[in-house]
Structure 1
Amino acid sequence: MKNVLPGMQTAEMKNAEVDEEERLTADEGEKADQMEVENEKRKEKGIQKKTLKERKGESERMEEPERSCG
């Protein structure tokens, strides 16, 4: 590297800093995307749990008239 006085930056140093910043923001973006995906999965699981409960409720309702008639 060339002689650099304190406080001065070469183009290479500036590029390295920019690359590092871009990498950090990309990592943050990936983390945000992963969080969104996880939230979507949680929502889907919650919906599935609700539908299972509803199905159980419906099957119980269907069985009750048979019991009362029998």
Structure 2
Amino acid sequence: MDLSVKSRDNIEFMIEGIKDKLHIVNAGALNAKSFDTDQYEDLRDIYEMIQKKPNFSVSELDAIVSELGRLRK
């Protein structure tokens, strides 16, 4: 998947990857439709950072979820 292209499909792909990696239980709280392509670069940065790390502390998870909440429409 070419994440350099801003598209709804790529946003959905990244959100699903974030949910899987972070083991988000309430998957409905993180919906790809809640993100606009205006925040695409920020979302991609978060996705790439999450994919590189093997695990996360509670404070890191808190910060990631807060940032995703800030990016939602």
TM-score for both structures, normalised by structure 1: 0.25
Larger radius of gyration: 1
Give the helix-richer structure, 1 or 2.
1
TM-score for both structures, normalised by structure 2: 0.24
